[in-house]
C-alpha cells in the first residue's frame, strides 16, 4: 500500500495540468517528428516554484481545472472563441517564426485555433521576458486581405476589416478580461527541424491580462481551420499525438508528436471524433463507465435540457484540463458505486474540491475504472489515472461533477499515447510503457 501511494504522489506531483513544450533536438520518427513536454512544476521549467510543496502543486492544478472549464461553457453561444479563460496556460510550445527565424514560447492549447504572438509595435502588451516579434524585420511576413479565405475563417464576431488598408484584423476578449487584438498575417513557421511557409497567425499589437510572462501568445492546436495542426494538414498526414507519462525526475519528459507516431505492440482503442460546433474542440461519445465489473450506462443520465443543446453523450478530450468532469447525475451514481466498492474509511477533503476521499493509512484496494467510448473503444484507467493522494493520510477521486460540459482530462490520459487522426476523424488511446518509448 505504501508503495502504491508513493507512486500516486510521484506521478501526480509531476504530471499535472501544465507542461512546458521545449524544442531541444526534435526526434525524427516515421512520417513525423516529436518534441519534449516538460512539466510546468519541473525544476527545468521557468515557472518552477521551489517553495511549493507536492500538495500545493496538486491543489493549484485542480483549481486551474475549475477555471479552465469556464472556457467551454459558452460553446452554445455564437462567440465560441472569444469567451474563453486565458488564465493558467496548460502547455508552452517553443516555435520559431519569420525570416530570419525568431524563437517564440507560446501557450500550446488543444482548445484554441488561431495561433497569435505579441508583436511590435505594441500599443499595449503584457510583460514578456523575451523580445517581441517585429514583423518589419521579417522578409516573409505578409498581411492578409479582407474577404480572403484566411480572414473569413475567423468567426464573424472576432473579425475586423481595416477599411483604409483592406487588411484583416482580429479581436479576442477572454472570459477573465484578458484580450488580444492585432493583424491576421502569413508567416514562415519553424517547428523543430522543419519549416512551413505561409501559415496563418495573429500578430497581436494590443494584448493584456493574466498571461504568463514566460510566454508570448497562444499556439492553437484545436480542430478549427486556423489551428496549427489543421494548417499543417498533409504535411503531418492530418495526425498528431501526445504522451503524458509518469516521471519523477527532471531527466524524464513526455512528448508531443506531429505526424504519425511509431507503432506499438500495445492494444489501441479507437473512437470516432464527433463533428460539432465549435469545431475547435475534440468531441467523442461516452457510452458507459465501469467500476470493476459494474457497468454504468452514461446515456441514461443525460438530461433533456442537455440533449436539447446537442450534447447528448458527448465528452471533450482536453489535454489542458487536469480533472475529468462528468454529467452531475451520472457522477452521483458513479460516486455511490465507488463508495460501495472501496472498503475504506471515508474522510473529507479539507479544501472541499474532491469527493469521495478515503483514509490512506490502511490497505486500500482501488478499482480499475473503464471508460466505454463510441465505436467499442474501452479505455481502462488505473488508480494512477483516477485517484490522488492530497495529504499524507488521504486519497481522493479525481473526477468531478459538471452541470453543463463533460471533459476527459489529462490525469485520465496519462500513461497513454493519445493519437488524433483529423482525416479519418478518430482519436485513439494506446497504453504506453514510457521507458520503452524514448
Interval 301-337: pLDDT, tens: 554 444 444 456 899 998 878 899 999 999 999 999 9
Position 1 pLDDT exceeds 60: no
The domain segmentation of the chain, as residue ranges, is 9-256, 262-436
**Domain 9-256: what homologous superfamily?**
Acid Proteases (2.40.70.10)
Virtual torsion, Cα 218, 221, 223, 224, nearest 10 deg: 40
Which is the catalytic residue, given 109, 113, 158, 404? 109
pLDDT in tens, 209-252: 777 777 788 889 999 999 999 999 888 989 999 887 654 444 45
Region 108-134: what's the mean pLDDT?
89
134 is catalytic: no
Position 15 pLDDT exceeds 90: no
**Domain 262-436: what homologous superfamily?**
Acid Proteases (2.40.70.10)
Position 408 pLDDT exceeds 80: yes
pLDDT in tens, 25-74: 333 345 677 766 655 666 666 666 778 777 787 777 787 777 777 666 54
Read off the pLDDT band of 7 (50, 70, 90): very low
Percent of the chain with pLDDT over 90: 45
318 is catalytic: yes
Read off the pLDDT band of 91 (50, 70, 90): low
Among residues 366, 390, 286, the alpha carbon closest in space to that of 16 is found at 390
The mean pLDDT value of the chain amounts to 80
- CB atoms < 10 A from the CB of 338, how many? 21
User: Measured between alpha carbons, how far apart are the two ends of the chain, in Å?
Assistant: 29
Among residues 336, 334, 346, the alpha carbon closest in space to that of 393 is found at 346
Global pTM? Answer: 0.84
Confidence at residue 9, expressed as pLDDT on a 0 to 100 scale: 42
pLDDT in tens, 365-385: 899 999 999 999 999 999 999
In this predicted model, which residue has the larger pLDDT, 93 or 35? 93
CA distance 290 to 337: 10
Read off the pLDDT band of 189 (50, 70, 90): very high
Which is the catalytic residue, given 41, 155, 158, 318? 318
Virtual torsion, Cα 97, 102, 106, 111, nearest 10 deg: 0
Helix or strand holding residue 338 (H, E):
helix 328-341
Confidence at residue 433, expressed as pLDDT on a 0 to 100 scale: 62
Confidence at residue 286, expressed as pLDDT on a 0 to 100 scale: 96
Angle of CA points 379, 12, 408, to nearest 5°: 35
CATH topology identical between 9-256 and 262-436: yes
Among residues 101, 99, 100, 131, the alpha carbon closest in space to that of 118 is found at 131
Cβ-based burial of 91 (10 A; exposed 0-12, middle 13-18, buried ≥19): buried
Amino acid at each position: 500500500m505504501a508503495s502504491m501511494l508513493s507512486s500516486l504522489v510521484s506521478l501526480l506531483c509531476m504530471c499535472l495540468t501544465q507542461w512546458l513544450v521545449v524544442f531541444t533536438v526534435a526526434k525524427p520518427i516515421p512520417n513525423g517528428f516529436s518534441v519534449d513536454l516538460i512539466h510546468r512544476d519541473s525544476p527545468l521549467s521557468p515557472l518552477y516554484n521551489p517553495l511549493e510543496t507536492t500538495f500545493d502543486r496538486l491543489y493549484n492544478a485542480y483549481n486551474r481545472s475549475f477555471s479552465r472549464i469556464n472556457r467551454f461553457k459558452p460553446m452554445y453561444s455564437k462567440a465560441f472563441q472569444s469567451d474563453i479563460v486565458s488564465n493558467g496556460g496548460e502547455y508552452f510550445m517553443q516555435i520559431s517564426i519569420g525570416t530570419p527565424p525568431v524563437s517564440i514560447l507560446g501557450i500550446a492549447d488543444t482548445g484554441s485555433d488561431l495561433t497569435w504572438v505579441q508583436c511590435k509595435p505594441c500599443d499595449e502588451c503584457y510583460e514578456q521576458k523575451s523580445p517581441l516579434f517585429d514583423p518589419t524585420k521579417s522578409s516573409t511576413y505578409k498581411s492578409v486581405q479582407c474577404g480572403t479565405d484566411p480572414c473569413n475563417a475567423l468567426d464573424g464576431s472576432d473579425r475586423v476589416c481595416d477599411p483604409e488598408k483592406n487588411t484583416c484584423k482580429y479581436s479576442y476578449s477572454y472570459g477573465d478580461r484578458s484580450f488580444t487584438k492585432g493583424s491576421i498575417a502569413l508567416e514562415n513557421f519553424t517547428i523543430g527541424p522543419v519549416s512551413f511557409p505561409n501559415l496563418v497567425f495573429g500578430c497581436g499589437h494590443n494584448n493584456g491580462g493574466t498571461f504568463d510572462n514566460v510566454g508570448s501568445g497562444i499556439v492553437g492546436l484545436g480542430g478549427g481551420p486556423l489551428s496549427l495542426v489543421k494548417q499543417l494538414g498533409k504535411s503531418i498526414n492530418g495526425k498528431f499525438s501526445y504522451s503524458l507519462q509518469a516521471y519523477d525526475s527532471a531527466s524524464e519528459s513526455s512528448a508531443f508528436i506531429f505526424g504519425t507516431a511509431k507503432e506499438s505492440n500495445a492494444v489501441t482503442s479507437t473512437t470516432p471524433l464527433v463533428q460539432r460546433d465549435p469545431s475547435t474542440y475534440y468531441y467523442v461519445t461516452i457510452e458507459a463507465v465501469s467500476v470493476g465489473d459494474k457497468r454504468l450506462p452514461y446515456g441514461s443520465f443525460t438530461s433533456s435540457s442537455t440533449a436539447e443543446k446537442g450534447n447528448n453523450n458527448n465528452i471533450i478530450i482536453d489535454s489542458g484540463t487536469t480533472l475529468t468532469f462528468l454529467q452531475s447525475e451520472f457522477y452521483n451514481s458513479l460516486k455511490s458505486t465507488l463508495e460501495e466498492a472501496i472498503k475504506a474509511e471515508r474522510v473529507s477533503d479539507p479544501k472541499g474540491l474532491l469527493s469521495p476521499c478515503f483514509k490512506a493509512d490502511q490497505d486500500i484496494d482501488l478499482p480499475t475504472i473503464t471508460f466505454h467510448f463510441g465505436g467499442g473503444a474501452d479505455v481502462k484507467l488505473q488508480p494512477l489515472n483516477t485517484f490522488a493522494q492530497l495529504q499524507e493520510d488521504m486519497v481522493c477521486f479525481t473526477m468531478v461533477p459538471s452541470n453543463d460540459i463533460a471533459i476527459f482530462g489529462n490525469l485520465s490520459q496519462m500513461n497513454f499515447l493519445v493519437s488524433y487522426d483529423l482525416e479519418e476523424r478518430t482519436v485513439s488511446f494506446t497504453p504506453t510503457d514510457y521507458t520503452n518509448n524514448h
